[in-house]
Structure 1
Amino acid sequence: MGMKSLLNYTINVDVAILILLVKVSIMANSTSSGPKDMSTAFLIRVDQSGQGDYTKIQDAIDSVPSNNSELEKIVVPADKPYITLSGTEASDTIITYNDGGEILSESPTVKILASEFVGRYLTIQNTYGKTGKGVALRVSGDKAAFYGCKIISYQDTLLDDAGRHYYKNCYIQGATDFVFGNAASLFERCHLHSVSEGNGAITAQKRESPLENTGYVFLGCKITGNGGAILGRPWGSYSRVIYALTYMSGVVQAEGWNDWGDADKQKTVYYGEYKCYGPGANRDKRAKWSNTLSNEEAAPFLNKNMIGGRSWLRPAPTHFKRIDQKS
Structure 2
Amino acid sequence: MVKLVAIAFAAFCLGFVSYVVEGNHQAFKSKQYEGRHQSLLNADANSVVLHVYSVDDPNAHPRAGDINFNTVSAAIDWITYNSSQRYLILIGPGIYREKITIPKFKDFIHLAGVTQNIFDTVIVYNANHGSVNGTGKSATFDVLSNYFIAEYITFQNDAPFANPGDINKQAVALKLSGDFARISNCFILSSQDTLFDDEGRHFFQNTYIEGNIDYIFGSGRSLYEKCNLISNSNATTSGSLTAQGRSSTTDFPSGYSFHNCYIGGTGKIILGRPWGNEAFVVFINCYMESVVDPIGWAHWNDVHGSSNSTAFFAEYQNYGPGSSTSKRVNWTTTITEEDAKAFSSLSFIDGQMWL
CA contact (8 A) 1:188 1:220 kept: yes
CA contact (8 A) 2:258 2:344 kept: no
1:213-251 per-residue CA deviation (whole Å, 9 max, x = no partner) reads: 101000000000111010000100001100000000000
Alignment counterpart, residue 236 of structure 1, candidates 272, 276, 282: 276
Alignment counterpart, residue 316 of structure 2, candidates 261, 274, 280: 274
Task: For residue 49 of structure 2, give the secondary structure of its aligned residue in structure 1.
Answer: strand
CA contact (8 A) 1:129 1:153 kept: no
1:115-146 per-residue CA deviation (whole Å, 9 max, x = no partner) reads: 00000011100011324111000000000000
Partner of 1:134: 171
RMSD: 2.0
Give the Å deviation of 1:306: 1.5
Rounded to whole Å, the distance in 2 between the matches of 1:39 and 1:86 is 18
User: Equivalences for 1:282-293 in 2 at 5 Å?
Assistant: 282-293=324-335
**What's the TM-score, normalizing by structure 1?**
0.82
Give the Å deviation of 1:40: 6.6
1:164-217 per-residue CA deviation (whole Å, 9 max, x = no partner) reads: 000000000001000000000000000000011321000000000012310100
Alignment counterpart, residue 254 of structure 2, candidates 198, 201, 214: 214
**What's the TM-score, normalizing by structure 2?**
0.75
Rounded to whole Å, the distance in 1 between the matches of 2:135 and 2:325 is 34
State whether structure 2 residue 128 is matched by structure 1 residue 104.
no
Rounded to whole Å, the distance in 2 between the matches of 1:240 and 1:268 is 10
Give the gaps of 5 or more residues in structure 1: 1-31, 314-327
Letter in 2 for 1:225: G
Partner of 1:44: 50
Partner of 1:72: 98
Partner of 1:62: 77
Give the gaps of 5 or more residues in structure 2: 1-37, 63-67, 86-96, 163-168
CA contact (8 A) 2:298 2:307 kept: no
Alignment counterpart, residue 114 of structure 1, candidates 145, 159, 171: 145
Rounded to whole Å, the distance in 1 between the matches of 2:214 and 2:47 is 37
Rounded to whole Å, the distance in 2 between the matches of 1:275 and 1:181 is 25
State whether structure 2 residue 243 is matched by structure 1 residue 204.
yes
Letter in 1 for 2:51: R
Shift of the 236–37 alpha-carbon distance from structure 1 to 2, 3 Å rule, reads closer
CA contact (8 A) 2:42 2:84 kept: no
Partner of 2:292: 252
Give the Å deviation of 1:54: 2.3
Rounded to whole Å, the distance in 1 between the matches of 2:54 and 2:336 is 55
CA contact (8 A) 1:237 1:265 kept: no
CA contact (8 A) 2:283 2:318 kept: yes
1:242-267 per-residue CA deviation (whole Å, 9 max, x = no partner) reads: 00000000000100000123699734
Rounded to whole Å, the distance in 1 between the matches of 2:54 and 2:284 is 44
CA contact (8 A) 2:224 2:259 kept: yes
State whether structure 2 residue 221 is matched by structure 1 residue 184.
yes
Rounded to whole Å, the distance in 2 between the matches of 1:291 and 1:280 is 18
Shift of the 264–227 alpha-carbon distance from structure 1 to 2, 3 Å rule, reads closer
Partner of 1:16: none
Rounded to whole Å, the distance in 2 between the matches of 1:66 and 1:195 is 39
Rounded to whole Å, the distance in 2 between the matches of 1:275 and 1:249 is 14
Rounded to whole Å, the distance in 1 between the matches of 2:270 and 2:222 is 19
State whether structure 2 residue 134 is matched by structure 1 residue 94.
no
Partner of 1:84: 110
User: Equivalences for 1:19-34 in 2 at 5 Å?
Assistant: 33-34=39-40
Rounded to whole Å, the distance in 2 between the matches of 1:66 and 1:60 is 13
Rounded to whole Å, the distance in 2 between the matches of 1:150 and 1:218 is 17
CA contact (8 A) 2:306 2:329 kept: no
Give the Å deviation of 1:293: 2.5
Identity %: 38
Letter in 1 for 2:141: V
Give the Å deviation of 1:283: 0.4
